[in-house]
Amino acid sequence: MDCIFCKIARKEIPAKIIYEDDVIISYLDISPDSNGHTLIIPKKHFTDIMDIDDQTLIHIMQVARKIKTLLEEKLNIDGLTFIQNNGDVQEIKHYHLHLKPFYNQKQKIVPIDEIYNKIKMS
């Protein structure tokens, strides 16, 4: 399969992974809209919200809560937007959830290595 997210899940492409388990992998977006912009993807390929099973979807949301707390604690975010695209607005046809931090004060986008070092889970 030529899916870039599947390649990331199989570790064929490097990523700044902040959480991983048997079902999902979560990592920093390489083109962040804000500092700490994170993706959560299932390791198994699902195209979109209609393709993914309920158990995996629930698990993704449980992990999203953990990552929200992590971003609040490590980056002092003021809010967080969850975005999940489908159809023509979905750039990569592999289910994924964006977690986009919001800051009350305008933030300069810093290198993801700097953000990764602040938030990576031990």
Report d(CA 103, CA 80) in Å as an integer: 9
State mean pLDDT over 4-15. Answer: 96
Among 25, 22, 18, smallest CA distance to 67 is for 18
Which letter does DSSP use for residue 11 in this model? T
| pTM for this predicted structure | 0.94
The CATH architecture assigned to 4-119 reads 2-Layer Sandwich (3.30)
pLDDT tens for each residue of 43-67: 999 999 999 999 999 999 999 999 9
H-type alpha helices, 1-98:
4-9, 54-75
The tokens for 12 are: 């064929």
Residue 59 falls in the annotated catalytic set? no
Contacts of 120 (CB under 8 A, 6+ apart): 16, 18
What pLDDT is stored for residue 1 in this prediction?
64
